[in-house]
Amino acid sequence: MDVSQYLGIFLDETNEHLQTLSDQLMILENEPENEDTINEIFRAAHSLKGMAGTMGYKRMQNLTHDMENVFSEVRNGKIKVDGHMVDILFQALDALEEYRENISENQDEGTNDNEPIINALQAILNGESASAPAPAADTAEASPEAAAAEEAAPAAEGGSDENKWHDIVLHEPEQHVISEAIKNHSNVFGFTVYIQETCILKAARAFLVFKALEELGEVIVSEPSTQDIEDEKFDFDFSLYFVTDSPVEKVKEAIAGVSEIDHVVGDVIDMDKAKIFNEDDEDAGASETTAETKEESAAPVSSAPATTSAPAPAPAAKDSKSTDSKKNTGNKPAVNRTVRVDIEKLDVLMNLVSELIIAKNSLVSFAMTESGGHSGFNEQIEYLESVTTNLHESVMKVRMVPIESVVNKFPRMIRDLSKKLNKQMELHMTGEETELDRTVVDEIGDPLMHLLRNSADHGLESLEVRRERGKDEVGQIYLDAYQDGNNVVIEVRDDGNGIDTEAVKRKAIERGTITPEQAETMSEKEIIDLLFLPSFSTAKVVSDVSGRGVGLDVVRSKIGALGGDVSVKTKLGEGSTWTIRLPLTLAIIQALMVVVGKEKYAISLGSIQTIEDVAEDDIKYVEAREVINLRDTVIPIIRLRDILGVQDEKDPSSNMVVIIVKKGDQLAGLVVDELIGQQEIVIKSLGKYINCSSRLISGATILGDGEVALILDANVLI
């Protein structure tokens, strides 16, 4: 599994968890009995373990696993927290930090097993108040042998007998625990658990077995190791040694109580027969050194590191392997340095920037009224302007995320649809790296999914029809995203049937949405617009995929809520293109300030095409609507005075200022009285009390002089 795309998240979360661990350990040091803290640490260690396991960082997983074990014991009240333990936990934390460093640098956790720390943790688990583990210098030496042990361990198999637990190799700490247990008159059993061969989640079952066992006593050792069991690195059986006060039958019952367990065999162990670490088989060397390492950590004072006898082949192999993998990963670019920020903090930052811009605007208007006598003052303003613009951009970028996270799931969806609809189709995506405001990206998934399903279901013809029409049997669907000025455009295109406007018309009449007379006079665009009405579907057969009449209206309202719009171009028999336009940012825009009557309005620069000076005489009439003919394009004009209900009379002048606005490829001319100029404005909501029925006003902004100006949504006018 390729998990590299989650690396950023993994590192972020690891950071968070390490931070939690370190904070909570501090608390624990002062309040060893604090239960909340212990739980918190347990949870953090557990999450870390899970994450590291998923990402395939075995060493990190091992270490956190042992930390988790320690805390699980602490939580159960079996071990008391003391200074020594906290010390070791901090060392473990540092080791984890080191792993994280390594991973973020070259995506590899490194080869340090931190065996001494693990051993120390084990020692705590086993109730030994062992002294501090070998210092870091020894750690480096110890790790190759540990690696060797890891390599060799799975080799320890054999014995055709069902009681495979006889083959478990006991190391010294385990022997110690067993002899202690026997001394305390506890029972020590060996078990081999067989899982049904039909079982899919072996590791989960094994986990349940361990969980059941933990209620009765303590698992001393298992074969394969708990680590390998968790990773499903075992066939259908595993063996373990278990210390308990319960009788063997009860334990067997508990194990067999876990579902999908085939059967379990086990009995009291006989220390004489148990395989001890210095056994005479091929992996003796490896086992021995491991044991020595353990010994050394348990009693570092007495023994000089017995590393001289370290067997050559295994560690060498391991080493070369790790260097190999380093070579592979070393050249990869370092992970994206990501930062996770509380969205509220970002909002605060955004508000601050907003205020900065307001302050700047008031300076600008001040400068204008003071007739700009001081050039130094103007320079300062220009500087302030560039600062605020940059600040705005960078803050905005913090909020921007690529749409990748949303569209990545679509290929799979199309594949499934292809099976379900029995149509062959391919999805081609471009521009996944296009960035949009976080809030927009979160919301855009559903509308896009609707459109893609629509294309797959309604758009693409069935196989037979495609053949008949001489089209490629495999239907093509395209999803293209790109930035266009202040907008981001996402297009969903297919080479299917296109929209049959006649069918739409018939359906609309059938449903009583329009009268036959109306249908006669409707333009193609108006007919297509009918599709966006609630509960309107043209699919002849209501299918699982789409065609229940919920969809396009939802798409339009959702996109509308994000400040964008959706349009469609279609050609019968050749396919359709759905175009979604979204604003890059939601909070601050470049706008053109205009005057209508005595009121000031802002129009987003993004939708403005050109500004024209038009003589009153140039106005022509088409279907009783005013139009102008501008460079061979007939453009309907809209008098904002009338639309906005401005009362006072305008002095009749021969020329009008017409702002040509664009929505998709439709144009319209807005007649205003005066232009003020371009300004960066901060969008403020009008709040929920005011109910602007025409949706003409998309918000308000505060001007430099403190006055409020309204923002016109040109898209609604077209």
Catalytic residues: 46, 68, 454
Q: Is 689 in the site for other proteins (CB under 8 A)?
A: yes
What DSSP string runs through 296-319?
A: HHHSTTT-----TT--SHHHHHHH
d(CA 376, CA 386): 15
43-82 mask for other proteins (x: CB under 8 A)?
Answer: ----------------------------------------
Closer residue to other proteins in complex, CB, 203/696: 696
Q: Contacts by 565-569 with C-beta closer than 8 Å and gap 24+?
A: 565/663, 565/664, 565/715, 566/447, 566/532, 567/663, 567/664, 568/499, 568/528, 568/531
User: Of 700, 704, 713, 714, which one interacts with other proteins (CB under 8 A)?
Assistant: 700
User: Of 132, 256, 684, 718, which one interacts with other proteins (CB under 8 A)?
Assistant: 684
Distances (CA, A) of 3 to 9, 23, 616: 10, 29, 65
User: Of 77, 333, 645, 652, which one interacts with other proteins (CB under 8 A)?
Assistant: 645
User: Of 644, 667, 676, 718, which one interacts with other proteins (CB under 8 A)?
Assistant: 644
Sign of the CA dihedral with 511 first, then 513, 515, and 521 last: negative
Q: Is 697 in the site for other proteins (CB under 8 A)?
A: yes
Task: Give Dmax over CA atoms of the chain in angstroms.
Answer: 114
How many residues lie near other proteins (CB under 8 A)? 28
- Report residue 711 CA to chain centroid gap: 34
- β-strand partners of 577: 493, 569
Query: In terms of Cα–Cα distance, which of 245, 246, 242, 244 is closest to 266?
Result: 242
Query: In terms of Cα–Cα distance, which of 162, 88, 167 is closest to 123?
Result: 88
The b/e string for 412-442 (b: 16+ C-beta within 10 A; e otherwise) is: eebeebbeebebebebebebbebbbbeebbe
- Give the interface segment with other proteins, choosing from 34-42, 400-408, 468-476, 639-647 (CB under 8 A): 639-647
Contacts with other proteins in 583-602 (CB under 8 A)?
599
d(CA 673, CA 669): 13
Closer residue to other proteins in complex, CB, 69/361: 361
Q: Is 355 in the site for other proteins (CB under 8 A)?
A: yes
- Give the interface segment with other proteins, choosing from 152-160, 219-227, 571-579, 680-688 (CB under 8 A): 680-688
Q: Is 648 in the site for other proteins (CB under 8 A)?
A: no
Q: Is 686 in the site for other proteins (CB under 8 A)?
A: yes
Which SS3 state, helix, strand or coil, does residue 552 take?
helix
Sign of the CA dihedral with 623 first, then 624, 629, and 634 last: negative
User: Of 83, 373, 652, 687, which one interacts with other proteins (CB under 8 A)?
Assistant: 687
| Least distance CB 679 / other proteins (angstroms) | 16
Token digits for 416?
């499934």
User: Of 5, 424, 633, 694, which one interacts with other proteins (CB under 8 A)?
Assistant: 694
Q: Is 373 in the site for other proteins (CB under 8 A)?
A: no
Q: Is 688 in the site for other proteins (CB under 8 A)?
A: yes
Closer residue to other proteins in complex, CB, 198/693: 693
- Count the Cβ atoms, other than its own, within 10 Å of residue 356: 16
| Least distance CB 663 / other proteins (angstroms) | 20
Q: Is 369 in the site for other proteins (CB under 8 A)?
A: no
Q: Is 354 in the site for other proteins (CB under 8 A)?
A: yes
Binding site for other proteins (CB under 8 A): 354-355, 358, 599, 643-645, 684-694, 696-697, 700-702, 706-710
